[in-house]
Amino acid sequence: MPVLRWLRRHLIVIAGLLTLAYMILPNIVVMVFSFNKPNGRFNYSWQRFSLDAWKDPCGVADMCGSLSLSLQIAAWATVGATALGTMIAFALVRYRFRARGAINSLIFLPMAMPEVVMAASLLTLFLNMGAQLGFWTILIAHIMFCLSFVVTAVKARVMSMDPRLEEAARDLYAGPVQTFLRVTLPIAAPGIAAGALLAFALSFDDFIITNFNAGSTVTFPMFVWGSAQRGTPVQINVIGTAMFIIAVLVVLAGQLIANRRKNSARP
Amino acid sequence: MSVIQEAPPAPVEEPKPRKPATRKRLVPYWLLLPGILWLVVFFALPLVYQASTSVQTGSLEKGFEVTWHFQTYWDALTDYYPQFIRSLLYAGTATILCLLLGYPLAYFIAFKAGRWRNLVLVLVIAPFFTSFLIRTLAWKTILADSGAVVDVLNTLHVLDVTSWLGWTESNRVLATPMAVVCGLTYNFLPFMILPLYTSLERIDGRLHEAAGDLYATPATTFRKVTFPLSMPGVVSGTLLTFIPASGDYVNAELLGSTDTKMVGSVIQTQFLRVLDYPTAAALSFILMAVVLIAVTLYIRRSGTEDLV
């Protein structure tokens, strides 16, 4: 049976591609249904082709407002978490000091805790302090849960850096600032970029922690959640498709740059 | 560092470097201060507040007071143990499915994809950036009662078996445990694949050749060489899948029914709608304890403690 033999030889490839299909399937459905013209409020079954939603992506009340709010929060959370996280990562890799173990666990714990637990406990803090829930409480929460992921990403990169490069820079009479800016930072940059990208994605997509700490402020995921009950506008699929395409382009561009660097670095 | 610098020993200079030295010793602390302060105030302190809330009694109108009322924990457990068990069961099943589905894909990317590797990696990462809520809603379309998936499963008589096992209901997939587990598996799959890929990619291909030279069959090579070497990825992948899945309520709410509610859903309702803060805090504390204990035991057993 040549077919069976072929199947057996390529078992891993077939299984891998099936998993890949499982992962991509919802994205394709989102894309297809962005061209749908639904009959009722719910966009769950195919009716007929239409470009209406693409022509008027902001035609739904409050949707684009929530989208821009989410983008703003994600941008600030990325800046905050990347700055704080990079500092922590450098301290942990480059220095030996007391309380290192305790700090490592403090950074590990937020990743080892169900989101709903962090969300609920942060809300008890805000309620006890009498804080006004909204933009600032969301931002505080997002920086908090992105921080650990940034530290992990940057740490991985800094750990693989050769400290002799910095020693060489100092031997060549570079000052500490010059060494940092012209040697350390460029080498650590891919790790920092990966951490920042991760923080942006996590913050932009977060629903559970935001839902607890947003008060009456509505971010994009919260808008989507609400619309699931009231009726999903087709425009949500348009935004989903656009995000997917932009993400693919950004990630591909990043890999191209990384590849070109790798190739040009070789003699 | 170098011998040249050590050569002129200068006892004259001794008092001088003291100040820069103390300043240098403080550098790590200054680097750590802002971030750690953030985590202490907005992560650790809230847990303390939550612990205190869980032993309070009172009502929203009269105010809450700490009365060391541990009964709340017992009541919460007896009232909501089905949701607890369900959460752990669903999260556990989704984790196993993620491992079974994710391993071949990670292996494929690491060893077989060749020049397609980057593209496949992009396709694994990119869904991250499309809102996961939109993608979860898409599963509603895919698993719809009149949809292709249900039709195929029905024709193959798969639904008869799964309904008998209690995973689905007669001709439905949506609003059943199977739909929730399918959503959980889907949502956390990238968290399994990426660590697996990282640890598989590090394996030296020559080890496979060596195993082959020593007359190991591909299956034996996998069992004795590849899989053991990928253990760090398996451990961190299962953790990254199980922990968030156990607290998730989005999949259960969007794809399930009232019979598939998970504990996260209960915490959310108690906290944001019923406003019974002590019960919600107690539930969330029990969930945290269960997950932390499970994670610690698991890390101990699998013997990779350098994960932290």
Is A32's pLDDT higher than 90? yes
Window from A189-193, B10-14, B240-244, B251-255 with minimum mean pLDDT:
B10-14
Is B102's pLDDT higher than 80? yes
Q: What is the pLDDT of residue B22?
A: 64
Residue B143's closest CA among B104, B103, B186?
B186
Window from A103-117, B50-64, B135-149, B287-301 with minimum mean pLDDT:
B50-64
Which two tokens mark B249? 């309520």
Is A152's pLDDT higher than 80? yes
Q: How confident is the model at residue B12 (pLDDT cuts 50, 70, 90)?
A: very low
Q: What is the pLDDT of residue B261?
A: 92
Q: How far is A198 from chain B (nearest CA, A)?
A: 9
Window from A103-117, B70-84, B124-138 with minimum mean pLDDT:
B124-138
Q: Please, what is the average pLDDT of chain B?
A: 86
Q: What is the pLDDT of residue B10?
A: 47
Pick from A18, A117, A171, A252 the residue to mutate for testing the B interface (most B CBs within 10 Å): A117
User: Which single residue is written with the structure tokens 């403690």?
Assistant: B305
> For B162-171, what is the mean pLDDT?
85
Q: What is the pLDDT of residue B13?
A: 45
Q: How confident is the model at residue B269 (pLDDT cuts 50, 70, 90)?
A: very high
Chain A: residue nearest B190 by CA? A23
User: Which single residue is written with the structure tokens 């020049």?
Assistant: B115
Measured CA to CA, the distance from residue B255 to residue B283 in angstroms comes to 23
In chain A, the percentage of residues whose pLDDT exceeds 70 is: 98
> For A31-57, what is the mean pLDDT?
85
Q: Is residue B235 part of a domain?
A: yes
Instruction: Tell me if A16 and B108 make a contact (CB, 8 A cut-off).
Output: yes
Q: How far is B259 from chain A (nearest CA, A)?
A: 18
Q: How confident is the model at residue A50 (pLDDT cuts 50, 70, 90)?
A: confident
Q: How far is B172 from chain A (nearest CA, A)?
A: 16
Residue B153 belongs to a domain with what CATH number? 1.10.3720.10
Residues 6 or more apart in contact with residue A49 via CB below 8 angstroms? A35, A36, A37
Residues of B within 8 A of A5 (CB-CB) are none
Instruction: Tell me if A144 and B131 make a contact (CB, 8 A cut-off).
Output: no
Q: How far is A114 from chain B (nearest CA, A)?
A: 5
From the list A90, A103, A171, which residue is nearest B36 (CB)? A103
Q: What is the pLDDT of residue B300?
A: 84
Helix residue ranges per DSSP H, B108-222:
117-125, 132-142, 148-155, 158-165, 177-201, 205-213, 218-221
CATH architecture of residue range(s) A61-226: Orthogonal Bundle (1.10)
Measured CA to CA, the distance from residue A43 to residue B64 in angstroms comes to 44
Rg (CA), chain A: 23
Q: Is residue B180 part of a domain?
A: yes
Q: How far is A248 from chain B (nearest CA, A)?
A: 6
Measured CA to CA, the distance from residue B115 to residue B122 in angstroms comes to 13
> For B113-122, what is the mean pLDDT?
85
Is B11's pLDDT higher than 70? no
Q: What is the pLDDT of residue A167?
A: 86
Helix residue ranges per DSSP H, B222-276:
227-229, 231-247, 250-255, 263-269
Instruction: Tell me if B39 and A144 make a contact (CB, 8 A cut-off).
Output: yes
Measured at the alpha carbon of residue A255, what is the angle toward residues A253 and A259, in degrees to the nearest 5?
120
Q: How confident is the model at residue B303 (pLDDT cuts 50, 70, 90)?
A: low
Q: How confident is the model at residue B20 (pLDDT cuts 50, 70, 90)?
A: low
Residues of B within 8 A of A208 (CB-CB) are 247-250, 264
Which two tokens mark B59? 């009502």
Instruction: Tell me if A247 and B28 make a contact (CB, 8 A cut-off).
Output: no
Is B4's pLDDT higher than 60? no
The residues spanned by each domain of chain A are 61-226, 233-266
Measured CA to CA, the distance from residue B200 to residue B204 in angstroms comes to 9
Q: Is residue B151 part of a domain?
A: yes
Q: How far is A205 from chain B (nearest CA, A)?
A: 6
Measured CA to CA, the distance from residue A137 to residue A32 in angstroms comes to 36
Measured CA to CA, the distance from residue A107 to residue A99 in angstroms comes to 12
Q: What is the pLDDT of residue B18?
A: 47
Residue B97's closest CA among B167, B149, B166?
B167
Residues of B within 8 A of A244 (CB-CB) are 126-127, 129-130
Q: How far is A56 from chain B (nearest CA, A)?
A: 19
Phi-psi group of B276: left, alpha or beta (phi > 0 → left; psi -120 to 50 → alpha; rest → beta): beta
> For B13-36, what is the mean pLDDT?
71
User: Which single residue is written with the structure tokens 């637990």?
Assistant: A117
Instruction: Tell me if B42 and A144 make a contact (CB, 8 A cut-off).
Output: yes
Pick from A23, A109, A230, A262 the residue to mutate for testing the B interface (most B CBs within 10 Å): A23
Instruction: Tell me if B32 and A224 make a contact (CB, 8 A cut-off).
Output: no
Contact (Cβ atoms closer than 8 angstroms) between residue B145 and residue B175 = no
Residues of B within 8 A of A259 (CB-CB) are 118
From the list A115, A151, A246, which residue is nearest B244 (CB)? A115
Q: How confident is the model at residue B23 (pLDDT cuts 50, 70, 90)?
A: low
Instruction: Tell me if B267 and A116 make a contact (CB, 8 A cut-off).
Output: yes
Q: What is the pLDDT of residue B9?
A: 46
Instruction: Tell me if A120 and B284 make a contact (CB, 8 A cut-off).
Output: yes
φ, ψ for residue B59 (rounded to 5)? Answer: -140, 170
Q: Please, what is the average pLDDT of chain A?
A: 89
Pick from A7, A107, A109, A124 the residue to mutate for testing the B interface (most B CBs within 10 Å): A124
Is B15's pLDDT higher than 70? no
Pick from B5, B37, B41, B43 the residue to mutate for testing the A interface (most A CBs within 10 Å): B43
Q: How many CB pairs under 8 A join A and B?
A: 260
Measured CA to CA, the distance from residue B190 to residue B193 in angstroms comes to 5
Pick from B141, B198, B262 the residue to mutate for testing the A interface (most A CBs within 10 Å): B141
Instruction: Tell me if B46 and A116 make a contact (CB, 8 A cut-off).
Output: no
Which range marks the domain in which residue B219 is found? 89-256
Q: What is the pLDDT of residue B282?
A: 94
Number of neighbouring beta carbons within 10 Å of residue A265: 7
Q: Is residue B7 part of a domain?
A: no
> For A179-197, what is the mean pLDDT?
90
Q: What is the pLDDT of residue B217?
A: 86
Q: What is the pLDDT of residue A162?
A: 84
Is B16's pLDDT higher than 60? no
Q: What is the pLDDT of residue B46?
A: 95
Report the domain count for chain B: 1
> For B271-280, what is the mean pLDDT?
90
Q: How far is B141 from chain A (nearest CA, A)?
A: 5
